[in-house]
Amino acid sequence: MNQLIISAATEGGEAANPLVPNLWEMFVVLVGFALLMFIVVKFVVPMFEKTFAERAEAIEGGIAKAEKAQAEASAALEEYKQQLTDARAEANRIREEARAEGAQILADLKEKAAAESARITAQAHTQIESERQAAVVALRSEVGTLATTLAGRIVGEALDDDQRAARVVDRFLAELESQNAGAAK
């Protein structure tokens, strides 16, 4: 078989050197390669560069958006913390106001209760004094009647004269009061 190849190569003319390329083949390959390179450089590479630029821009835009969102989130967090601090301060202020208001209401109620107690006590003292006066008047009248009756029995004559009876009763009560005053000392 080797001889067959050698005989075919010698039939075509001179023997072809396998180390030296055929010029015509080389020209066709170079033209094909140049045409392929032109298509790749003219159409494929710009498409790749365009896609690469779009992706780079999208990544940079995404990073910028992420940084902006991070800054907004940080600002929102700070605002939330500030609002929380303000709300706590407001709650403490309201709580203190409620305590002060409660203490004021309690003081007002105590003051009203004390005033009401003083009024009731004064009213009771007034009522007791009026009842004592009524009792004194009733006792004076009763004692006067008993004294005139007793004096009439002792003296033996009736003391029907009102003026005389009043004088006797007054003298009798004066003597009783002086005896009570002397005993109290």
Per-residue model confidence as pLDDT tens digits over 130-148:
998 888 888 877 877 777 7
Per-residue model confidence as pLDDT tens digits over 33-88:
999 999 999 999 999 999 999 999 999 988 988 999 999 999 999 999 999 999 99
Per-residue model confidence as pLDDT tens digits over 9-43:
445 556 677 888 888 999 999 999 999 999 999 99
pTM above 0.75, yes or no: no
Q: Return the pLDDT at 97.
A: 94
Mean pLDDT of the chain: 84
Mean pLDDT of 164-183: 77
Of these ranges, 10-24, 119-133, 148-162, the one predicted with the greatest mean pLDDT is 119-133
Q: What is the CA radius of gyration of the chain?
A: 68
Asked whether the CA dihedral 122, 124, 127, 129 is positive or negative, the reply is negative
Q: Return the pLDDT at 161.
A: 66
> How many Cβ atoms sit within 10 Å of the Cβ of residue 165?
19
Whether the per-residue pLDDT at 89 is higher than 90: the answer is: yes
Q: Return the pLDDT at 18.
A: 80
Contact 169, 144 (CB under 8 A): yes
Mean pLDDT of 119-127: 93
